[in-house]
Structure 1
Amino acid sequence: MTLESRVAGILLSLSVSACAQVTLPAGTPLPVAIPVHLPMLAGETLRSELLYPVYVDNKLVLPAHTIVLGLVLSLNPDHGRRVYARFSADFTPFRTPVVEFTSILLKNGSSLPLATSAATDGAPIFRLTPGPPKRGGIIRQQYQVVKASVRNQALFYTAPGRGDRLKQLLYNQLPYHPQRIDQGTAWTVTTTAPLELPADSAMLALVAVTPEAENNHLPDFFDRLTAPDKLAQEAPEERPKWLIQAYLDEPISSATSHVGEPVKATVAVPIFNADGSLAVPEGAVLTGTVTQAQPARRFSHTGKLRFTFTTLTLPGAAPKNVRTTMAAADAKTPQQLAMDSEGNVAPEPTNKVAPLIYAALAALPLHHDRDADAGEQFGKNALASNSLGLIGFIIGTASRQAAVSGAIGAYGAAVSMYRAYFARGKETAFARNTRIVLKTEATQVTRLKPAS
């Protein structure tokens, strides 16, 4: 074999190996969640799954449910939760885990080292979707809140996994109880260094592109824009629409944001036309502004936040006008946010009936009945003092004093009333890299060129 052929062979192998790599760039969001409960311990190993697929150059390289391994670096004290719990006689030293993810398991069983940012904001998440239009005044709305609370209580005792929920309910009644990282706790970390993925994993993932993109195969937006007269005659509800999945570039909150402040989001999933051609590439940028921002105030006035995206910029193209409404968004469970029928997000209404029930129960032991036996009085004491958890129940029933049980119940009712009527309301906030889904509509009759 001649020297020239050897050099050519080496160059060919290098070019093949170079083509056999897919680079996941630094700064890529990776939303992950744990599928099982884990103890709250520093050094605990985390075996999590990707919540959403990851695309590079409009190709699926990491499908959803890819295994991502990490560990708990340390435990930080959760001061806010500790203070909140003290008022309910819960002296558990609540902590927040600091986590980091270190490797990815591919379909072929191999492991790749991964460098990510540390995260502390873990919590189970749920997908916000528009609810039915609100009807009636504040009384009807409170009726709906109470109705939803009763329905949730029924599901608590009937839905699968009730054994574990009942055990946790018992733990929460204790003045000191173990803490864990709950099943479904999620973090969104970002890669801090490029990750080289082998081409075979990328090619295996490509099989899932068609079903994954099925919901994005909407009517050909670009072709319809070639007929401006037809588009101008169409009613707004008949104009072409997309559903765009994106990540917020920066956090926004009703406590810190201002009207007119710019908002940006990066498209996470490419959108294809009906013929399979690329319409909106992964990495396209949505820009808009905050249209309403009002911090939360005392007396349960919740924070108000509203934002909209008005332009879509494809790589290498000029910005184009779009009209957007929020179709869905991820939210952490502790936020307790809700989305109305128009896509506006706000904290869920506070249950203002519960404090009145606690107050009525607190007064039960004080109503003496000459014909009442010891068992009936015990029941009244138990109902009144249970508002302070197990420790209140024990003190109230063991004392056998109506005044003691009533005082404990009155304290619990006062705490509940303060939180429902007088405390500062909740803020509306979205963290950086929050996953959102936008329904977009064309407002400009110029052809948008698909990326080459």
Structure 2
Amino acid sequence: MVSRVLAMAFFFWIFSGSLLAQAAISPLPSASPQPPSEPHTIALTIPAGTSLQIALDKEVRVRKVGEPITGRVMQPVYVFDRLVIPVGAVATGRISRIDAIPARTRALSALNADFTPSHKVDVEFDELTLPDGHPIALHATIVPGSGQVIRLVTADQHKKNAVKDATTQKMDQARAQWNNAMKQVEAPGRMHRFMRYAVAQLPAHPQYIDAGTLYSAELSQPLDFGSEVVYSDRLSAIGTQPPPGSLVHAVLLTPLNSATTPKSFDVEAELSQPLFDQERLILPAGTRLRGAVLQVRRAKSLHRNGQLRISFREVVLPNGAVQPVDTRLQGVQSDSADNAQLDAEGGVKSTPSKTRYLSTGASVGLALIGSGGRNDVGDASPIAGGVTGFKLIGLIVGVAFRSHTYGILMSAYGGSRSIYNNFLGKGREIVFPKDTVMEIGFGNRTSLPMPGVNPGETK
């Protein structure tokens, strides 16, 4: 009897444990299954017209058409949210054209003791090698106006010791990225630069393309990198509000020139890199920014330089939805010779070069020697005056005739010309060619609601 009771108790214990185990692993009747995330296929194709920024990684002596050149990609290239061409990819090409020098230019250069004036040189890039060694054929054209030594100009910060906001911190990161990219370039040292400058002053000298010269190569044919499948949950945040202080990288689609661009002129740029909020994709590469020129001033006499201020007020998402934004220009690439300066409000102006004081001082010093009397400097007076006026012809006439009257006239002309060019003449214009890279910061802005059509749809 006791054994029968114990067997029934053991059976009941096993049965109840099985029920509890099934209850533990079975879903609750009230829980509804989550709908599967919808897949979307996105083509990883760089469209024709996209610009690659390529900087020469070493200086090139201009000898003949076909001279090989090599460069490095300085800005990453994205399609939607995927990196397809990283910084550092190697581009190879050649000098494609060396223009003849017009007779008038050659004659004027000869008068200034320069028998080898610089030719206009065109280059082309025809192959790209990715870091993994994979070569890609390039079909691209160099954008007119590129081919300069470029620097990244950032907004002034008036309070150097102030706590940095999010935008300033991101600009520090952008500068660091630019500096790291430029480390791939064999920048010449001070002695090398001095020797190049000294050689350039000789009557006959070779022509070089400097290391770091940056070219914008626009694709004439698309580059295909396959496709990727993304799910709608990864696309759900597209069009939502970026956090204040977000910074986007964009390329200018509208060429700007302070001499010819009118106020209120429409300006358009395109995001070259996607914007993420942690892991959420907010704005994919290819998103357009639309704005206008808020202020423009042409360069004027008395060496007053041009000024330009632009602002982007609309975002155009890849599906065509348009949303208002509040942005400010935080950084821009500019020709090093322009000495561009970006203020805290996003305005750009060209600042005078400090070397103008040195060059003017040297010219005025020679002018004082050239205008001195015979008892002061002897035969140096007409020679110095001739050099100040018209280098070669002035030197020849000064040596041949040794006229102090001639020395005084040439000295006055040479010194006056230097003062006019550096202080009284027209200043420099602000010029941003197509594909200029810009860093644009977002401030407080209107929320970007989710678009009404499929956010994964591309046009």
TM-score by length of 2: 0.70
Residue 47 of structure 2 corresponds to residue 25 of structure 1: yes
Letter matched to residue 58 of structure 2: V
Q: What is the one-letter code of the residue matched to 1:56?
A: V
1:244 Cα deviation after fit: 1.0
Residue 383 of structure 1, CA deviation? 7.2
1:12 maps to none
| Greater mean alpha carbon deviation, residues 161-170 or residues 378-387 | 378-387
> Partner of 1:327: helix, strand, or coil?
strand
Does residue 47 in structure 1 map to residue 50 in structure 2? no
Q: Render the CA deviation track for 1:40-70: whole Å, top value 9, x for unaligned.
A: 2311122111011111121111100101112
Counterpart residue type for residue 27 of structure 1: G
CA contact (8 A) 1:175 1:390 kept: no
Residue 361 of structure 1: CA displacement? 3.9
More helix by share: 1
Letter in 1 for 2:363: Y
> Whose radius of gyration is greater, 1 or 2?
2
Contact 1:221–1:240, Cα closer than 8 Å, also in 2: no
**Shift of the alpha carbon at 1:302?**
2.5
Contact 2:54 2:214 in 1 (8 A): yes
Q: Which amino acid aligns with 2:224?
A: E
Change (3 A) 1:173 1:268: same
CA shift at 1:320, angstroms?
Answer: 2.2
Q: What are the equivalent positions in structure 2 for 1:261-340 lying under 5 Å apart?
A: 261-274=265-278, 276-316=279-319, 318-340=321-343
1:363 to 361, 368, 380: 368
Which string of whole-angstrom CA distances, capped at 9 and with x for unpartnered residues, describes residues 249-274 of structure 1? 12111122111111000001111112
Q: Name the aligned partner's letter for residue 332 of structure 1.
A: D
Please give the alpha-carbon distance, in whole angstroms, between the structure 2 residues aligned to 1:378 and 1:167.
30
Secondary structure of residue in 2 paired with 1:291: strand
Q: 2: distance between equivalents of 1:451 and 1:113?
A: 33
Question: Offset of 1:308 from its aligned partner?
Answer: 0.8
The Cα of 1:175 is off from its aligned counterpart by 2.9
> 1: distance between equivalents of 2:270 and 2:263?
21
- 1:115-134 to 2 correspondence within 5 Å? 115-120=139-144, 121-131=146-156
Aligned amino acid, residue 68 of structure 1: A
SS class of match (1:124): strand
CA contact (8 A) 2:71 2:90 kept: yes
Give the distance between the partners of 2:440 and 2:280, measured in 1 at CA: 21
Checking the alignment, whether the CA contact within 8 Å between 1:133 and 1:340 is kept in structure 2 is: no
1:190 is aligned, of 218, 228, 245, to: 218
Query: Could you tell me which residue of structure 2 aligns to residue 69 of structure 1?
Result: 92
**Distance verdict in 2 for CA 1:176–1:261, change over 3 Å:** same
Give the alignment of 1:1-12 within 5 angstroms: none
The letter of the residue matching 1:282 is A
For the structure 1 residues 89 and 301, does the alpha-carbon distance in structure 2 shift closer, same or farther, using more than 3 Å as the test? farther
The CA deviation at 1:182 is 1.1
Q: What 5-or-longer segments of structure 2 have no aligned partner?
A: 1-40, 160-186, 229-236
Asked if 2 retains the 8 angstrom alpha-carbon contact of 1:362 and 1:407, the reply is no
Which of 92, 96, 112 aligns to 2:120? It is: 96
Q: CA deviation at 1:187?
A: 0.7
Q: 1:223: Cα distance to partner?
A: 7.8
**CA distances 1:194-250 after superposition (whole Å, capped 9, x unpaired):** 123378xx9xxxxxxxxxxxxxxxxx998878xxxxxxxxxxxxx812111100112
Amino acid at match of 1:327: Q
C-alpha distance in structure 1 between counterparts of 2:307 and 2:93, whole Å: 36
Distance 2:85 2:78 in 1: 7
2:21 equivalent in structure 1: none
C-alpha distance in 1 between matches for 2:286 and 2:101: 36
Instruction: Report if the CA contact (8 A) 1:396-1:405 is conserved.
Output: no
Could you tell me how far apart the structure 2 residues matched to 1:86 and 1:406 are? Answer: 23
Letter in 1 for 2:190: R
Residues 1:441 and 2:446 aligned together:
no
Residue 164 of structure 2 aligns with which residue?
none
Letter in 2 for 1:252: L
> What residue identity is the alignment partner of 2:326?
R
Contact 1:279/1:451 (<8 A) preserved: no
Distance across 1 between alignment mates of 2:421 and 2:385: 19
Distance 2:81 2:308 in 1: 32
User: Cα deviation per residue 1:275-297 (whole Å; 9 max; x = unaligned)?
Assistant: x1111211111110111233333
| 1:81–1:451 distance in 2 versus 1, CA, 3 Å | farther
CA RMSD between the two structures: 3.8
* Residues 129-153 of structure 1: per-residue CA shift (max 9 Å, x gap): 224659xxxxxxxxxxxxxxxxxxx
Asked whether the equivalents of residues 241 and 282 of structure 2 are also in contact (C-alpha less than 8 Å), the reply is no
What is the percent sequence identity of the aligned residues? 26
Q: 1:406 Cα deviation (Å)?
A: 5.2
Alignment of 1:425-436 (within 5 A): 425-436=427-438
Mapped contact 2:366–2:388 kept (Cα < 8 A) = no
TM-score by length of 1: 0.71
In structure 2, the residue matched to 1:171 is 199
1:318 is displaced (CA, Å) by 2.9
Corresponding letter in the other structure for 1:300: H
Where 2:325 maps in the other structure, the secondary structure is strand
Tell me, yes or no, if structure 1 residue 260 matches structure 2 residue 260.
Answer: no
Give the aligned length. 373
* Partner of residue 166, structure 2: none
CA 1:250–1:363: 2 relative to 1, 3 Å: same
Map 1:335-414 → 2, pairs under 5 A: 335-349=338-352, 353=357, 354-355=359-360, 358-367=363-372, 387=388, 391=392, 401=402, 403=404, 407-414=409-416
Q: CA deviation at 1:74?
A: 0.7
Assess if the C-alpha contact under 8 Å between 1:76 and 1:96 holds in 2.
yes
Provide closer, same or farther for how the CA distance between residues 357 and 72 of structure 1 changes in structure 2, counting only shifts above 3 A.
Answer: closer
